[in-house]
Amino acid sequence: MSTSLPTLLTFPNGRELTVPTGLFIDNKFVPSIEGATIQSINPVTEEVLAVVSSATAKDIDIAVASSRHAFRTVWGRNIPGVERGKLLNRLADLMERDTDPLGDLEALDNGKSAEVARAVDLPEAIACLRYYAGWSDKIFGQTIEVDDKGHKSASTRIEPLGVCAQIIPWNYTIMMLAWKIGPALAAGCTVILKPSELTPLPALKLAELVVEAGFPPGVFNCVPSFGDVGGAALTSHLDVDKVAFTGSTATGRKIMQAAALSNLKKVTLELGGKSPHIIFASANLKEGPRSCESCHWGVFLNQGQDCVAGTRLYVQAKVYDAFIEELLHSAKEWTAGYGDPFAEGALGGPLVSEVQRDKVAAYVDSARAEGASIVYGGERWQGKGWYYLPTIIGDVTPTMKVVKEEIFGPVLVVTKFETEEEVIALANDSTYGLGAGFHSNDANQCQRVLARLEAGTVWVNQYGQLYPQVPFGGYKQSGMGRELGTYALENYTQVKSVLWDYSGGSAQ
C-alpha cells in the first residue's frame, strides 16, 4: 500500500500540522511506484506518527531523471547565480516564518527538545542557507598568464558538478538538509536528498517550502528511503555525478565502494567521531569559560547523537577531583524534559529508535564487564520512550570498547592524565578525527596543543560552536571533504581549464 496524501499530525502542545507523505519529485508528492512505505515512529510514545512513501530503485531512477532534466534545462548554467541566491534566501525567509511548526516537527520525529529545535536547529539551518545564498554569484575562476606574446590565454571555469545525491542522517534532519542543499544549489547543482527513514517528516515538510519559494521542478527532489534500498540505488546510479553522505563510518565505507564500482562519482563523507575533550590544569575553571558546562553540552546535547560529540573527557590530575565533582553535580540537568520534549525547559530526549537505545545500553554493559566504573546514570530511564540516562563512566582504559568506539548516545568516558604529551597521545589514539576540544589559559600551551591534535575542528575554551562560514569535517576515518565555509562549494563544483590560442585571428 502506498501513499501520497498528506497526513494530519497532532502535537503534545496542541499544534496541528499536515505533513505530506509522498516522495517529492518534480515539485509534486507522488507515491512510490512499487508501493513501498516507511513508518515513522515517535521515540517518546513508541507509536507510529505517520506512514510515508519509501523510494525503491525504480523511484530513484525517476528522481534522477528529473534532476538531470532540471540540471540541463532550468538549473546549472541556465540560471544566473544571483537568481539561485534569491531562491535560497527566499527559502530561508519561509523557514524563518515557519520556525515554530518546523521545530516542533523536528522534535516530534526525532524526540529532541522542541525548545532546542526551535532555538538551535532552525536558526542554524536558516543561517546556513543565507550564507550560501550570498555565495551563489561569487564563484570565481582564475585567469592565468601563460604567454609572453599576448596570443594565448588560460583561465578556469568553475562549473557545477551536476546531479548530486545527498544522504542525511536522523540526528539533525533540518540542519543537515540545509548544510547539504545550501552549497549544492548555490553552486548550480540539482539535488536528490534522501533523509533517514527514521526521520523523514521534517524533510517532506520543507519540500513544501521549496515549492513556495519558487524553485523550479526537479531542482530539489526528496526521497525518503531505507539506506540499503534508496541509498544504495543512489550511490550506485550511473547518472548521479556525486554523493554526499553524513552518517556512520560503516555506511560511509559502503558508499565509497559503491561509488567506485559504479561510475566513480565524487564522494564526500562526514562520518563518525570519538572526539576528545581535554581539561588542562591551566584552565580557568572558576571564572573563565565554564568548562564543565561545555563538557555537558559537548556530550549530552541531542542525547549524544552528534558526530562531533565530545565523548572522551581527559582531566589533568591536579584539577581532577574538583572537576569531576562539578561534572556529576550538574549532570542531572540533562534529564530535564524526559518524557516530554515539549515541556518547558526540556533539554534531554530519547534516542531516536529502540535499536539505537539498546546499542547504547549494550556499550554501557560492556564497560561494566570490562571493569570500568559507572559513576553516573548507566541505565535505561524508567518511563515510556527510548530514553537512556546521561551516563558518565570512569576508570576506563584506552582499549575498552566504550573508549574506542562511537556510541552515539549520552555516554561520557572520563580519564585522568598527568602531562600534556600524554594526553595528546591519548587524544590522537583513535581512528577518528572529527573534532577535539580543550581548555587552557596558557596561550603557548593552546598553540602547541591545537597544532598537534589530529582533528578537523579544534575548540579552544569552548566546545561544539559551529558557524556556517567556518569549515567542518574530519581527519582520518571521520570523513573526507569539508562542509560549511567556502570549502563546501568545492564539493559541488569542478574546474575546467580553458586554454585558448587566438593567434590565428590577425587583422588583414
Catalytic site residues?
270
Q: Which of 151, 253, 332, 384 binds other proteins (CB under 8 A)?
A: 151
Extract the runs of DSSP E, i.e. beta strands, from 238-299: 242-246, 266-270, 276-279
Q: Spell out, one character per residue from 373 to 392, where the chain touches other proteins: x when CB under 8 A holds, - when not.
A: --------------------
CA–chain centroid gap for 170, Å, is: 9
Q: Which of 97, 138, 329, 332 binds other proteins (CB under 8 A)?
A: 138
Instruction: Tell the smallest beta-carbon distance from residue 168 to other proteins (Å).
Output: 24
Pairwise CA distance, residues 118 & 137, whole Å: 30
In this chain, which stretch among 18-26, 27-35, 127-135, 390-398 interacts with other proteins, using CB under 8 A? 127-135
Written as one string, the DSSP assignment of 371-417 is: T-EEEE--SB-SSSSS-B--EEEES--TTSHHHHS---SSEEEEEEE
In this chain, which stretch among 214-222, 265-273, 405-413, 498-506 interacts with other proteins, using CB under 8 A? 498-506
Pairwise CA distance, residues 38 & 45, whole Å: 17
How many residues form the binding site for other proteins (CB under 8 A)?
Answer: 31
Instruction: Tell the smallest beta-carbon distance from residue 94 to other proteins (Å).
Output: 15
Instruction: Tell the smallest beta-carbon distance from residue 405 to other proteins (Å).
Output: 34
**Three-class HEC string of 71-99:** HHHCCHHHCCHHHHHHHHHHHHHHHHHCH
Q: Which residue has the cell 544571483?
A: 82
Pairwise CA distance, residues 20 & 53, whole Å: 10
164/484 with CB nearer other proteins: 484
Amino acid identity for residue 404 in this structure: K
Pairwise CA distance, residues 76 & 94, whole Å: 23
Instruction: Tell the smallest beta-carbon distance from residue 447 to other proteins (Å).
Output: 5
329 binds other proteins (CB under 8 A): no
Instruction: Tell the smallest beta-carbon distance from residue 440 to other proteins (Å).
Output: 14
135 binds other proteins (CB under 8 A): yes
DSSP class of 120:
I
Instruction: Tell the smallest beta-carbon distance from residue 502 to other proteins (Å).
Output: 3
Footprint on residues 421-450 left by other proteins (CB under 8 A): 443-444, 447-448
Q: Which residue has the cell 547543482?
A: 189
399/444 with CB nearer other proteins: 444
472 binds other proteins (CB under 8 A): no
Q: How far is CA 277 from CA 41, 162, 243, 280, 463, in A?
A: 33, 39, 31, 10, 8
88/307 with CB nearer other proteins: 88
Residues in touch with other proteins (CB under 8 A): 82, 85, 89, 127, 130-131, 133-138, 140, 150-151, 153, 443-444, 447-448, 468-469, 486, 500, 502-508
